[in-house]
Amino acid sequence: MKNIVNKNVLKIKPYEPGKPIEEVERELGLKNVIKLASNENPLGSSLRALSAIKKKLGTLNRYPDGNCFYLKNKLAKKLGLKPQNLIFGNGSDELIDVVIKTFVGPDEEVLTSKVSFVEYEIVSRSNNRKFRDIPLKNFKYDLRAIKMAIGKNTKAIFIANPNNPTGTYVNKKELEDFLRGLPKNIIVVLDEAYNEFVDVKDFPKGLNYINKNVILLRTFSKTYGLAGLRIGYAIARPEFIECMNRVRQPFNVNLLAQAAALEAIDDIAFLGRTRKITLDGKKYLYRELDRLGFPYVSSVANFILIDLKQDCRIVFNKLLKEGVIVRPMGTYNLKNFIRVTIGTKKENTRFINSLRRIL
């Protein structure tokens, strides 16, 4: 195998997704299992998006619009941008791959933080690019340390803001201090997958920085509830987007995803309900975790990183038997931590009651 498989592939730890509800119900013989493991929207999807999908079912024999023309124009208008500032992908995961292939050469490196979105490392190594990560400081990106770590081969720096899996963020001053004086050949990627959940005033508005060498990544998976359709987008200077379009696969965003996103953009009521249930749920979980005596990391996303003070895998398995799926953090070397998605009021209550019973 070593002489056949790309040696960088053998260094990659496979991505570990949250266990599907169907799998847990089948394995353990349970019903009414709830999943709080993958930061999905607990309200489901916009009804307007679902209606748009139904209308397109009769056209599945046709290839989708490879340029996402209507979606691109609508989103550009909403954001106050030009269509040339946008590129769409099969989830923001694909766009991470496109960014690295477009801007990072074989002898150049990707720099980011430890305990962040694992796709930055997986995609870098699978593309034979060098990769380095810098330790967090108090569960946050240490931008000063990352800046000091920049070397002659550093080409792209990924910053998840808010960060997954910690839920922390870098504020406006920290980001601007970091961007000031960076080498002009370095690309900074701000991954804003959870930006719609942010409830703090000093969070930086990524759109203010795209005139620099900054690329924003966003997604329809979280607040828009379209995770199963895989659609994300990047925002950058037109000349960057033009080069990225040379790399992306043709017809990379399927027909149903485009139709759903086109309607979901305008469903302001659905987005408002999603944000409210998340913020209310976060307050409830904070309060109950305080009562139970479990420390947690303050989050500006739709999930919470919780310190159980014991082996997370043991607690994870006990919660599974209760029909509650959470995310164990052992693969991030956070052996006592779980990450819990903020769900509906009923789901949050069930999680807390199960946690109380087993611990």
Tokens of 242: 């033009």
- Residue matched to tokens 């900074």: 188
pLDDT at 359 over 90: no
The alpha-helical segments, DSSP class H, found in the chain are 21-28, 47-56, 69-79, 91-103, 119-126, 143-148, 172-179, 238-247, 255-264, 268-292, 312-321, 345-358
Amino acid identity of residue 138, one-letter, is: N
Q: What percent of the chain has pLDDT over 90?
A: 92
**Phi, psi for residue 235 in degrees, rounded to 5:** -125, 130
pLDDT at 2 over 70: no
The pLDDT tens digits of the residues spanning 71-112 come to 999 999 999 999 999 999 999 999 999 999 999 999 999 999
Query: Where in the chain do CATH 3.90.1150.10 domains reside?
Result: 9-44+268-358
CA 103 centroid distance within chain: 21
Report, as an integer, the average pLDDT of 298-308.
98
Burial-class residue 153 by CB neighbours within 10 Å (0-12, 13-18, 19+).
Answer: middle
Query: Where in the chain do CATH 3.40.640.10 domains reside?
Result: 58-264
* Angle subtended at Cα 99 by Cα 97 and Cα 101, rounded to the nearest 5 degrees: 70
CA 247 – CA 101 distance, rounded (Å)? 7
CATH superfamily of 9-44+268-358: Aspartate Aminotransferase, domain 1 (3.90.1150.10)
User: Please, which residues bridge with residue 218 across strands?
Assistant: 233
Residue 12's pLDDT is what?
A: 75
The dihedral through the CA atoms of 341, 347, 349, 351 has a sign that is negative
CATH topology of domain 58-264: Aspartate Aminotransferase; domain 2 (3.40.640)
Residue 1's pLDDT is what?
A: 63
Q: pTM of the full predicted structure?
A: 0.94
Selection from 307, 292, 297, 306 nearest residue 358 by Cα: 292
CA 53 centroid distance within chain: 24
